[in-house]
Chain A
């Protein structure tokens, strides 16, 4: 199966009800680094399905395997064992160019350290991505969505940390990704700034039907999720669903 046929992002809000389409189908996923006695097992076989329109929070201490899992989902790394399907397409056995295409069309990344290109303005950082993917939104629209319309011609050095992170989110969503992967998105931010960033992620998830996966060690974020997975020592320790998602503003900061 070709990669491209499965990379089309959702075009509308998520359908409610039982016939939900899994974005990721994961069974027995394991990742071992190194070999022999030096082998380090980062993931020891995890199973789950993530669906369109869901907001999932992965909790865990450092070394729990949550970053490894995120890297697998984002096509930055390949599993050692197990099944990793993205909308029926085997991501686990994809080659380098298949993974590049996957990241380009299907995944939006938000990093703890923002990773903006310092020599490009906010608008250009977003445009950099919209130039290479199919059916993107206008960079201005993406920046409006994260509330940065007025500051879009500023360079990263002229923006606060929260603003830089929101540019990163705009960059991630401008391609209308099927998946938004956020690695400690508020890790480097103060509470107030963190709230604006999380609100931006929440709005994208709600309005565009994007599957959003947030990894964090901050348990407070669990309340904004549809489902919460707690990882420890490379395993899923606990999975629960929230009957009702809490709004970001109501989280117990």
Chain B
């Protein structure tokens, strides 16, 4: 039986990095990156296929393709990697978003080599994060994914980029510090009955960490991961950061990096500290629900496309945390689907915004009109992204949000149902801010003379847009395969929670 070596998911980005360093011409740097990420995308699909084949063959291990090497003996840090259905789903998401992101930044002009270098370094971190099963390694990859962001925004960004980059990095670093304490807390409590301390998630999941320790460290891990998922009130890095970041970075950041938080909350905070999670969910749900409705209401009043989308992300990623904290299987499944779905949708949004900005040189909604006539392809894609974002059935947003709401509503506590109703009302607000942009920017007549001469999408932009659209539609029409894969992998977590 052929098995899948997960290290290849790190090897390809690293080889791409080497390739970028070696090429002389900047034009070649982007070709190297495109080839590398195409190969990566292919490998991701091979992983998806092999994972499903293995599961269908009756393999019911918690994680597949497990590998384990000692990395630092005396602290029992091990390089252990393996994937479950949730990780596979997010790896697929990452593969697609990165692929689309590379093509979306095809026309990058300044310091092309360096840009792609940092971008791929970040991507390496993300892939590493999703495959690692050791908290220490996981944290290391997490930092690897977060830090290049500073340079990417600070150097290639627009607007007040230094300020935004600094704010984003400092807030995420602050969260990392808290997170590190939380992870160490888990580590030092990982062997309550004596024996060797461990960072390994699989091993920790077999022991019950003392409830006092759980109560102390759960908030740290939750907030630590929550900040990168724009947990209210620590979300303010997101609008500024996304607005200043270059296109591909916005796509990756909103599309994938914000999901690191959700994944971490699920696999570390909830899985390893289940008792505290059940106890404290209500408290954190209040903040999360505020974030959901607050992000949506803020988006209504924004004028800058990127700000609209950033606040919309605060709202939609809030729904991920909302679903996670419900701690029911249906809601967890919805939350993971929402990670994937929102990743695709928001990446598409930021990609399209970048492409439109590259033509009109403005992101102000009021300064554009009638673009549907001028650039039909981009406009139609924008409309589809908008519809997906407001939860139109047939697109991925709906199948992701539905289980969250159903799962949340089926909670026996009336309080949970009340906040569910509040959270659901955000989808109406979403319709308002999305349709407002579509109406103002894409429809009516072209008011700005100069905009009449703009061109529609080029081939590389079409690749980028279509690759994302394809999956938004595929998940929306046939959610079964993805949700079954996720659902099976949620079993151990649900078992821990009960």
A binds B: no
Chain A contacts to B: CB under 8 angstroms = none
